[in-house]
Structure 1
Amino acid sequence: MLNTYQSFYAKAVCWSCLLIPSLLLTTPNFSVLVIGFMILASIGYLVRHDYKAQFKRFDKIVIFCLAWYFIGAIPITILDGETGRYFQGGARLLAAIPVYLALSDLHKHEIIPLRKYLEIGIILGSIGTFILAIYQFFFLSMERVDGFLYSINFGYLACSLAFLSLSLSITSPNKILLVISSCLGLVSVVLTFTRGAIFAVPLLLVLFFVLNANRIKAKWVIVCFVAALSICVLSYQNSSSIKNRIDFTVYEFSSIANGNINNAVSSGDRLQYWLGAIEAFKQSPTFGLSFRERQQLNHQLFLENKIGERASKVQRGHAHSQYFELIASNGALGIITIMTSLFIPLILMIRHYRKTSSDWAFSGSVFVSGFIIFGLTEVLLTANLIGFFYGFMLSIFFAQISVERNAANIKSTGAS
């Protein structure tokens, strides 16, 4: 039986799982307010119930994953001495720890129907995102829809919602609604013309089918492949915007292949940002270089004719890649951050899914895989909305997996 505060917290978590995806792309950062409330409510839960840390191995790994991004940024922040921007990504993951701890503790007393609320929130969020994208593209005649964000970030989050819908649909009673919301989300992704998000779609579909090889019939894989290919061909032939974007991409790649990297305004500049990040890592492989030092380095690389003038002027030496940004500003500590914030969570979820066929572990695997792909072309975890959303969802997935692990351990102990 839950006491008064536990009952309040249980309702708060359920409603946050509904509100956060619902408000994610349909409002200007309102979902961050809900996440902020949940962080405070979680801290209140831990204090109110005199929480005593009795961490199991899995808990320690999760806490380390959520905390390291922040810890790894401490040396360069001290060495810089001028700004705390290095903590932007880490602080948001760090804030997810009390949510994980409080929710894991709550589940020891009562399992709450989080999935029902989360599915409703994702469906509402995907529909709202689609309506906003259609309005901006067709009624406002915007070349690239962006909602209340940059088109790039809008594309990443729309893709994330689309694949949360698809991954949860496998065993859900709301299967049809979730599949429809996934399709609407993918349309929203396309209307952003964000290549990083669009590029992620086929890769995530492949992962989706690979992980579900034993539950999906081969004919459905063929049907989906033919449908996707047909949609791509028809879109290219009938949409001037899509045709222009694809032609622009082909032109950029052709320019890069022919050695005219400066003619590729977007992709070419990114490659040069990455070169600057690699040089920064070479100069300071342990802790990385400060923003000021990276700007100076990029200017020097321009003078040495190694990168173009346009790329040399990027603010703070910004790498436009989660991976290159971390190795440039955090050095070897950044490599650890890449593992703890992205790849170790994926490994934990896939391992749990293979052992248990857990729906939570499967959805979490697809979710994290999306961010691993998105991170190739943007420093997305430092963005306010994306960072908080990623951290919150990790805490939810990890807490649910923790419950399933504990239940499995109790069952095996009882059987023995």
Structure 2
Amino acid sequence: MKFSLNSLVLWALFLVPALLLTTPNGSVVIIALMSLYSIYFMFKNRRTLQLNRFDKLVIASLSSYFIIYIPTTIADGTTLRYFQGGLRLLLCIPIYFLLIAVFNEIKTEQIKKTLIWGVSIGSFGAAVFAGYQSLILSMPRVDGFLYSINFGYLSTALLCLSASFSLSSPKFRILLTLSTFAALYATVSTLTRGAIFAVPVLLIFGLILSIKQLCWKTSVAVILVLAVLSVASYHFSAAVKQRIDYTIQEITSIEKGNIKEATSSGTRLFLWKAAIEAYKESPLIGLPYKEREKLNHKLHEEGKVNDYVNKLPRGHAHNQYFEMLASTGSLSFIGMFMMLIFPLIVFVKHFWRTQSCWGYIGAVFVTGFMIFGLTEVPLQANSISAFYGFMLATFFALVRNDKYNVRHNK
């Protein structure tokens, strides 16, 4: 069977979210193949390729995470691990240019329909995996083919997409509502606090952003449903109750100054403290991994961090922002802005000016990853960074085509 380029792109838009949590790196393979073809596409059309100001900013956004690690990598001289997350975002730049060309020839509703089905299948698949591991295998924290924390973040990302699409897709609202709850079940089943905490925050952000489109009755209904589900989860799920009680206990210990007694949250505070010390040691470009390990040993000897921090390889900070701060110094502020804040500004402004669903969905999606970064370094992970880069390239391309009015067949 012969496929046109448009069909292949639509298949990619469907398969990336659909395979995200239902296969081991299936989405990464699709993105890698698409990136390779996109490079060929750009080379083939290099004479007609013209960059405007928006394109240059997108390139800066998708390449910043890679670029800011170059000085540290050179200073280390022993490993390319620093580029683990940035390289995947960098490889999404050619995908962005391919999508610009293809999206101009595909109807908006077809693109939306394809993404909706991909996100829905991905959400249902995540819920099936969670149900199998939780109910059949009796796993305390489900993880699919990933680490439980990463599974939780990506489930929440699918939840964001499902819920956001429902605002502008009344024909698919029932499907999207079901897929939202499926993704929510998968998220809660991981017991990942960073992912679960993000759900109500993202819901509130989405409601505020779409305040002009939603009537007050809908907003109240959504909040009540979330409140009922939260209370029900606490009272009817022993695992959820234990996790919440444990979190409250940790917060209480931290408030009393007993940080070491807060095993999880307290350790993160120590990790962030170590990252700040690393920044102080090299505020311009940050410290290489080996130097951060030595610094952590020194801090442990001085009684400023616990045993976990002392033994942790590469001085990992368990926080996207502190990790970048420690490893790239002041360059991290450029990376944080271009990789997270800049896309959010672009999408929010586009939504406010045009009421485009792509601006709204993109804004909620990026905000989710900004929240995930508070408790882990998600954009260093293989599947997460690839998915984030691909979806950014997709939303950037859709906003770009809307912005410059190049779409002729809406």
TM superposition score category, shorter chain reference: over 0.9
Q: For each residue in 1:236-265, what CA deviation from the matched residue of structure 2 results, as whole angstroms up to 9, or x when unmatched?
A: 122211111111111111111111111111
Shift of 1:51: 4.7
Q: Pick closer, same or farther for the CA change 1:51–1:266 going to 2, 3 Å.
A: farther
8 Å contact kept, 1:13–1:114: no
**1:327 pairs with 2:325:** yes
Could you tell me how far apart the structure 1 residues matched to 2:359 and 2:388 are?
15
Shift of 1:106: 2.9
Partner of 2:396: 398
Unaligned residue ranges in structure 2 (runs of 5+): none
Could you tell me how far apart the structure 2 residues matched to 1:53 and 1:291 are?
40
Query: 1:24-103 counterparts in 2 under 5 A?
Result: 24-103=20-99
Pairing partner for 1:337 from 335, 338, 343: 335
Shift of 1:310: 2.1
SS in 1 for 2:144: coil
Q: For each residue in 1:98-157, what CA deviation from the matched residue of structure 2 results, as whole angstroms up to 9, or x when unmatched?
A: 000111133445556322111111111111111110111111100001001011000000
Could you tell me how far apart the structure 2 residues matched to 1:140 and 1:43 are?
43
Q: Pick closer, same or farther for the CA change 1:42–1:74 going to 2, 3 Å.
A: same
The residue type paired with residue 342 of structure 2 is I
**1:161 pairs with 2:167:** no
**1:140 pairs with 2:137:** yes
TM-score of the two chains, using structure 1 as the length reference: 0.94
**1:128 pairs with 2:120:** no
SS in 1 for 2:85: helix
Pairing partner for 1:366 from 364, 371, 376: 364
Pairing partner for 1:229 from 219, 227, 230: 227
8 Å contact kept, 2:105–2:407: no
The residue type paired with residue 21 of structure 2 is L
Partner of 1:251: 249
Let me know the Cα RMSD of the aligned residues.
Answer: 1.6
Could you tell me how far apart the structure 1 residues matched to 2:193 and 2:105 are?
45
Shift of 1:347: 0.5
Shift of 1:217: 1.3
Overall identity of the aligned pairs, in %: 47
8 Å contact kept, 1:281–1:327: yes
Could you tell me how far apart the structure 1 residues matched to 2:356 and 2:44 are?
32
Q: Bigger CA drift: 234-243 or 360-369?
A: 234-243
Could you tell me how far apart the structure 1 residues matched to 2:100 and 2:107 are?
10
Partner of 1:414: none
Q: For each residue in 1:51-83, what CA deviation from the matched residue of structure 2 results, as whole angstroms up to 9, or x when unmatched?
A: 544211111111100111111111000001011
SS in 2 for 1:266: helix
The residue type paired with residue 192 of structure 1 is T
Could you tell me how far apart the structure 2 residues matched to 1:25 and 1:275 are?
33
Unaligned residue ranges in structure 1 (runs of 5+): 411-416
Shift of 1:43: 1.4
8 Å contact kept, 2:401–2:407: no
8 Å contact kept, 1:14–1:117: yes
Partner of 1:15: 11
Q: Bigger CA drift: 349-358 or 45-54?
A: 45-54
Shift of 1:227: 2.1
Could you tell me how far apart the structure 2 residues matched to 1:311 and 1:107 are?
48
Structure with the bigger RCO (C-alpha within 8 Å, sep 6+) is 2
**1:106 pairs with 2:126:** no
Partner of 2:276: 278
Q: Pick closer, same or farther for the CA change 1:358–1:352 going to 2, 3 Å.
A: same
**1:195 pairs with 2:196:** no
Partner of 2:113: 116
Could you tell me how far apart the structure 2 residues matched to 1:365 and 1:73 are?
26
Pairing partner for 1:171 from 168, 171, 189: 168
8 Å contact kept, 2:161–2:365: yes
